[in-house]
Amino acid sequence: MGNADDGTYSSSNKYGSAPAAASHRVALPPPMPFVTSLRNTLKETLFPDDPLRRFKNQPPRRKVVLGLQYLFPILEWGPRYTLDSFKSDLISGITIASLAIPQGISYAKLANLPPILGLYSSFVPPLVYAMMGSSRDLAVGTVAVGSLLMGTMLGTVVNASEDPKLYLHLAFTATFVAGLFEAALGIFRLGFIIDFLSQATIVGFMSGAATVVSLQQLKGIVGLDHFTHATDIVSVMRSVFTQTHKWRWESGVLGCVFLFFLILARHLSKKKPKLFWISAMAPLTSVIMATILVYFTHAEKHGVQVIGELKRGINPSSVKDLNFDSKYLTAAIKTGIVTCIIALAEGIAVGRSFAMLKNYHIDGNKEMIAFGIMNIAGSCSSCYLTSGAFSRSAVNFNAGCKTMVSNIVMALAVMFTLLFLTPLFYYTPIVVLSSIIISAMLGIIDYDAAIHLWHVDKFDFLVCITAYIGVVFASIEIGLVLAIGLSLMRVLLFVARPKTLVLGNIPDSKVYRDIDQYQNASHVPGILILEIDSPIYFANSNYLRERMSRWIDDEEDRLKSLGETSLQYIVLDMSAVGNIDTSGISMLNEVKKMVDYRGLKLVMVNPGAEVMKKLNKSKFLETIGQEWIFLTVGEAVVACNYMLHSCTHKMNSDGSHKYNNV
């Protein structure tokens, strides 16, 4: 190790007893008043995207305009809107309307609500979102999982068939609560809460929910009247197969035929994305064909259930229907909060992924406010929970939508339907709605993503599968709680058991890297270089102390077995330690004592600004000695080697002067 002579030592006497005069010292960050540092922390925590950036250095009047544009993005893009864009939006708007109408009716059934609510919910909320939302591709309306969740959660307090009016009112109330909660999360900049739903959780949960939703449709397919309220696979299967004598083959045949047709259409569109309109038009085509079929064969008299009469006219007000009776309030609040989180997770994830493709930015907190206002307005106009739906947004995107005008077109189409076309749905068989739901759900079950998770990260896969199994075999809520619990446990485990590495020298360089990763890296005789790959907190400081002591034991064993020089220095590379708390500092003090007791010397490398500040305030810098803190591992090793060999030299006074080359 004769590489101590790289010139950094020429001034080592200047520091008296200091072992090293490395050319660069680790700096303490410039002092910052408490208020400033608190403000910075709060800003990073709550305003990481700096939403006020564009207001900087603007005249007051311009600020008002910018503020309005911030709240209502339509004011920003509206004036620049062109006829070309309108042509694209018109086509995509009509396309998603043709999907929204049958899906709206189907999802309302899923929530045990009157079918007309699905149409209402595809009218007002898209208009509100078009004013306030920042996505250009989201197709707003009711969503399958949210609908099912609302159905099962409200179903536990009120039976929808026994007291449909109360049930309806509670649905409005839950939607109102969901909207309020969404808006509050956005206003208080707490959007990061939904970041704790990891991608793996969402994949598992959505796939599970899609499975459950599809299973529920067996009721419609085989034409059963009585069906379990539970959503788990065991109850559903039991319910289906204990009633085989009540199966209606007419219904079953119709369902399977349309399901086959829909799946075929989906398959075609998937193969050739240009044929997206086939799968987009298929549901409405199915509805029209099935309705005509029933109308002429009078199948409704032979066991094929039909929708029946739909009230004509646009959304009536439902402000007076909001029910804040304390008896049901808890259930409404619980339902509202759970469905809100699910709706947000789906809506924002979908919005973000399409924004990514077109390279524009979605502000999560602002989106939440838009979703919140949309649901509050919805709950007052006979709509239930709405969000950005995945399948319809994909169709919207593929159909070439340019702006939110496609949603306005869709809303107008729905309005037209509500005003004039509702009688046409009288003979629409429910079984075709079930087929439409199943075919939409099959698109949500994402095995490819699960396989990808398995390949890349086994724990993520475990989280995903847990969420799936929880939803399918227990209930939607249990699946969600399991998946979130596991995700949080994972974060805590990550924090509690951080990586520590032994570094070695990469040949022909002054670079030190993980010995396990770089097979050619070599140990430095007499020096153990450890790297801690995480902030040091109360949650991991005990572990880190034990782990470090084990590294030292291991290294001493290794050196003994090789008969090499004994260990002299422990170099702690702190580069990756982003922060430290008081428990962490106590731990370092203990490690220092332990290292001293073993007759070794603790050396520290490159602590960051925050860590230096706290080490200084807690006087640890004095304990370890500022001269034992180096900017790079290379400099620390050079200094240790210098000390090591000049000591050896002094002890073995007959030794060569080989190392004492300063």
| 517-576 residues near its own copies, rule: CB under 8 A | 517-519, 533-535, 537-543, 546-547, 549-550, 553, 575-576
**What is the C-alpha to C-alpha distance for residues 199 and 449, in angstroms, rounded to an integer?**
10
Tell the smallest beta-carbon distance from residue 345 to its own copies (Å): 12
3-class DSSP state for residue 504? strand
Instruction: Note whether 659 and 628 are within 8 A (CB).
Output: no
By CB under 8 A, the residues from 230 to 289 that bind its own copies are none
Instruction: For residue 199, state whether it binds its own copies (rule: CB under 8 A).
Output: yes
Cβ proximity to its own copies, 313 vs 578, nearer residue: 578
Instruction: For residue 509, state whether it binds its own copies (rule: CB under 8 A).
Output: yes
Cβ proximity to its own copies, 168 vs 585, nearer residue: 585
Distances (CA, A) of 366 to 72, 129, 390, 522, 647: 10, 11, 19, 52, 64
**What is the C-alpha to C-alpha distance for residues 519 and 599, in angstroms, rounded to an integer?**
30
Cβ proximity to its own copies, 329 vs 609, nearer residue: 609
Tell the smallest beta-carbon distance from residue 388 to its own copies (Å): 17
Neighbours of 369 (CB within 10 A): 20
Task: Let me know the angle formed at the C-alpha of 540 by 499 and 197, rounded to the nearest 5 degrees.
Answer: 80
Helix-strand-coil percent breakdown of the chain, rounded to 5?
65, 5, 30
Distances (CA, A) of 415 to 91, 94, 410, 436, 592: 17, 12, 9, 22, 74
Cβ proximity to its own copies, 77 vs 459, nearer residue: 459
Tell the smallest beta-carbon distance from residue 506 to its own copies (Å): 6
Tell the smallest beta-carbon distance from residue 586 to its own copies (Å): 6
Instruction: Note whether 265 and 442 are within 8 A (CB).
Output: no
Binds its own copies by CB under 8 A, chosen from 300, 477, 514, 627:
514
Binds its own copies by CB under 8 A, chosen from 14, 16, 31, 53:
53
Cβ proximity to its own copies, 519 vs 652, nearer residue: 519
Specify the length of the chain in residues: 662
Binds its own copies by CB under 8 A, chosen from 252, 610, 648, 660:
610
Cβ proximity to its own copies, 253 vs 356, nearer residue: 356
Running DSSP on this structure, what letter comes out for residue 419? I
By CB under 8 A, the residues from 335 to 394 that bind its own copies are 356, 359, 361, 364
Instruction: For residue 578, state whether it binds its own copies (rule: CB under 8 A).
Output: yes
**What is the C-alpha to C-alpha distance for residues 567 and 526, in angstroms, rounded to an integer?**
4
Q: At what angle do helices 364-379 and 124-132 cross, to 10 degrees?
A: 150
Cβ proximity to its own copies, 250 vs 590, nearer residue: 590
Tell the smallest beta-carbon distance from residue 627 to its own copies (Å): 18
By CB under 8 A, the residues from 83 to 112 that bind its own copies are none
By CB under 8 A, the residues from 420 to 479 that bind its own copies are 452-453, 455-460
Instruction: For residue 622, state whether it binds its own copies (rule: CB under 8 A).
Output: no
Tell the smallest beta-carbon distance from residue 457 to its own copies (Å): 5
Beta sheet of 500-505, edge-to-edge order: 512-514, 500-505, 527-532, 569-573, 601-605, 629-630
Burial label for 82, CB within 10 Å (0-12, 13-18, 19+), is: exposed
Q: Which residues contact 196 (CB under 8 A, 6 or more apart)?
A: 484, 487, 488, 491
Cβ proximity to its own copies, 54 vs 63, nearer residue: 54
**What is the C-alpha to C-alpha distance for residues 136 and 89, in angstroms, rounded to an integer?**
10
Q: Copy the structure tokens of residue 5.
A: 């002579």
**What is the C-alpha to C-alpha distance for residues 99 and 325, in angstroms, rounded to an integer?**
37
Instruction: Note whether 99 and 390 are within 8 A (CB).
Output: no
Candidates 64-72, 181-189, 368-376, 590-598; binding stretch for its own copies (CB under 8 A): 590-598
Cβ proximity to its own copies, 281 vs 631, nearer residue: 631
Cβ proximity to its own copies, 222 vs 577, nearer residue: 577
Candidates 192-200, 217-225, 247-255, 560-568; binding stretch for its own copies (CB under 8 A): 192-200
Distances (CA, A) of 86 to 83, 137, 141: 5, 14, 21
Q: Copy the structure tokens of residue 404.
A: 């939110």
Cβ proximity to its own copies, 268 vs 495, nearer residue: 495
Instruction: For residue 586, state whether it binds its own copies (rule: CB under 8 A).
Output: yes
Instruction: For residue 293, state whether it binds its own copies (rule: CB under 8 A).
Output: no
Phi, psi for residue 572 in degrees, rounded to 5: -105, 110
The residue assigned the tokens 């709706």 is: 343
Neighbours of 17 (CB within 10 A): 6
Candidates 165-173, 296-304, 400-408, 587-595; binding stretch for its own copies (CB under 8 A): 587-595
Site string for its own copies, 626-655 (x = CB under 8 A): -----xx-----------------------
By CB under 8 A, the residues from 163 to 182 that bind its own copies are none
**What is the C-alpha to C-alpha distance for residues 615 and 635, in angstroms, rounded to an integer?**
21
Tell the smallest beta-carbon distance from residue 533 to its own copies (Å): 3
Tell the smallest beta-carbon distance from residue 150 to its own copies (Å): 26
By CB under 8 A, the residues from 477 to 496 that bind its own copies are 487-488, 490-496
Q: At what angle do helices 144-155 and 199-216 cross, to 10 degrees?
A: 70
Cβ proximity to its own copies, 2 vs 7, nearer residue: 7
Tell the smallest beta-carbon distance from residue 390 to its own copies (Å): 16
Cβ proximity to its own copies, 568 vs 632, nearer residue: 632
Candidates 194-202, 249-257, 404-412, 638-646; binding stretch for its own copies (CB under 8 A): 194-202
Q: Which residues contact 8 (CB under 8 A, 6 or more apart)?
A: 20, 21, 22, 23, 635, 638
Cβ proximity to its own copies, 431 vs 524, nearer residue: 524
Binds its own copies by CB under 8 A, chosen from 255, 283, 498, 526:
498
3-class DSSP state for residue 432? helix
Output the DSSP codes for 104-170: HHHHHHHTTS-THHHHHTTTHHHHHHHHH---SS-EEE--HHHHHHHHHHHHTTS-TTTSHHHHHHH
Tell the smallest beta-carbon distance from residue 597 to its own copies (Å): 5
Cβ proximity to its own copies, 106 vs 487, nearer residue: 487
Cβ proximity to its own copies, 519 vs 656, nearer residue: 519
Tell the smallest beta-carbon distance from residue 592 to its own copies (Å): 11
Tell the smallest beta-carbon distance from residue 491 to its own copies (Å): 5
Tell the smallest beta-carbon distance from residue 540 to its own copies (Å): 7
Nearest CA among 210, 213, 209, 230 for reference residue 221: 213
Running DSSP on this structure, what letter comes out for residue 476? H
Instruction: Note whether 471 and 464 are within 8 A (CB).
Output: no
Cβ proximity to its own copies, 254 vs 574, nearer residue: 574
The size of the interface with its own copies (CB under 8 A), counted in residues, is 96
Tell the smallest beta-carbon distance from residue 236 to its own copies (Å): 31
By CB under 8 A, the residues from 21 to 50 that bind its own copies are 23-24, 27-30, 34, 38, 44-45, 48-50
